[in-house]
Amino acid sequence: MAPLAPDQDPKTPHGSGELASDSDTAPVEKRAPPLLGGNALGRLAGIGVLLLGVVGAFLYLGGWLSPRKLTPGRFVDEFERVNGEYSGFRRNHAKGVCVRGYFDSNGQGRRLSKAVVFRTGRVPVIGRFSLGGGDPYAGDELSTVRGLGLQFSLSDGEEWRTAMINLPVFPFKDPQAFYDNLVASQPDPKTHQPDPAKLAAFLANNPETARALGIIKSHAPSSGFDNSTFYGLNVFRFTDAEGTSMPVRWALLPVQPFEAAGATSATHDKNFLFDALIASILQHPLQWHLIITAGQPGDPTDDATIPWPEGREQVDVGTLTLDSVESEETSPARDINFDPLVLPAGMAPSDDPLLSARSAIYSQSFTRRAGETKEPSAIRPAEVGK
Residue partners of 234: CB distance under 8 A and separation at least 6: 170, 249, 304, 340, 349, 350, 352, 354, 355
**Per-residue confidence band for 294, with pLDDT thresholds at 50, 70 and 90:** very high
Confidence of residue 306 (pLDDT cuts 50, 70, 90): very high
Domain boundaries, position 316:
40-383
Direct distance between the N- and C-terminal alpha carbons of the chain, in angstroms, rounded to an integer: 31
Other Cβ atoms closer than 10 A to 363: 17
Whether the predicted pLDDT of 18 surpasses 60: no
Distance, CA of 386 to CA of 375 (rounded, Å): 23
Identify the residue with better confidence: 24 or 314.
Answer: 314
Highest mean pLDDT among 33-47, 206-220, 352-366, 371-385: 206-220
The pLDDT of residue 39: 53
Q: Are 285 and 101 in contact (CB under 8 A)?
A: yes
Q: Are 150 and 162 in contact (CB under 8 A)?
A: yes
Distance, CA of 307 to CA of 149 (rounded, Å): 22
**In contact, 83 and 37? CB cutoff 8 Å:** no
Asked if 14 and 66 touch (Cβ cutoff 8 Å), the reply is: no
Distance separating alpha carbons of residues 273 and 185, to the nearest angstrom: 26
Does residue 62 have a pLDDT over 50?
no
**Residue 273: closest CA among 261, 256, 288:** 261
Instruction: Please write the tens of the pLDDT for every residue from 138-174.
Output: 999 998 999 999 999 999 999 999 999 999 999 999 9
Say what the pLDDT of residue 51 is: 55
pLDDT for 342: 97
- Amino acid type, 266: A
Task: Please choose, from the candidates 102, 93, 105, the residue with its C-alpha nearest in 3D space to the C-alpha of residue 149.
Answer: 93
Cα separation of 29 and 305, whole Å?
12
State mean pLDDT over 213-219: 91
**Confidence (pLDDT) at 386:** 58
Tell me whether residue 377 is in a domain. Answer: yes
> Is 23 within the bounds of a domain?
no
- Residue 191 pLDDT: 86
Single-letter amino acid, residue 115: A
pLDDT at res. 9: 33
Residue of 108, 1, 105 whose CA lies nearest to 55: 1
Q: What is the mean pLDDT of the chain?
A: 82
What is the predicted pLDDT for the residue at 167?
94
The residues that bridge with 287 in the sheet, in sequence order, are 321
- Assess whether pLDDT exceeds 80 at residue 322: yes
* DSSP H helical ranges for 247-351: 272-283
**Could you confirm whether 219 is annotated as catalytic?**
no
DSSP three-state, residue 178: helix
At 80 the pLDDT is: 76
Residue 197 lies in a domain: yes
pLDDT score for 279: 96
Highest mean pLDDT among 20-34, 134-148, 187-201, 310-324: 310-324
Q: Rounded to whole angstroms, how far apart are CA atoms 264 and 222?
A: 11
Query: Can you state the angle between helices 175-184 and 207-217, rounded to 10 degrees?
Result: 80
Instruction: Give domain status of residue 11, yes or no.
Output: no
Query: Domain for residue 22, yes or no?
Result: no
Residue 154 counted as domain residue: yes
Task: Give the model's pLDDT for residue 355.
Answer: 92
Give the CATH number for residue 198.
2.40.180.10
Give CA–CA dist 236/256, Å, rounded: 27
Question: Between 333 and 7, where is the model more confident?
Answer: 333
pLDDT at 63 over 70: no
Which three-class secondary structure state does DSSP give residue 145? coil
With bands split at pLDDT 50, 70 and 90, how would you rate the model's confidence at 111? very high
- How far apart are the C-alpha atoms of 161 and 168, rounded to whole Å? 19
- Structural domain contains residue 21: no
Long-range Cβ contacts of 237-242 (<8 Å, 24+ apart): 237/347, 237/348, 237/349, 237/350, 238/112, 238/113, 238/115, 238/292, 238/346, 238/347, 238/348, 239/113, 239/114, 239/346, 239/347, 239/348, 240/110, 240/111, 240/112, 240/113, 240/114, 240/346, 241/110, 241/114
Q: CA-to-CA distance for 383 and 386, rounded, in angstroms?
A: 6
- At residue 97, the pLDDT reads 96
Annotated active-site residue in 14, 93, 219, 289: 93
Can you give the pLDDT at residue 54?
52
Domain count, the chain: 1
Residue 134 lies in a domain: yes
* One-letter amino acid for residue 365 of the chain: S
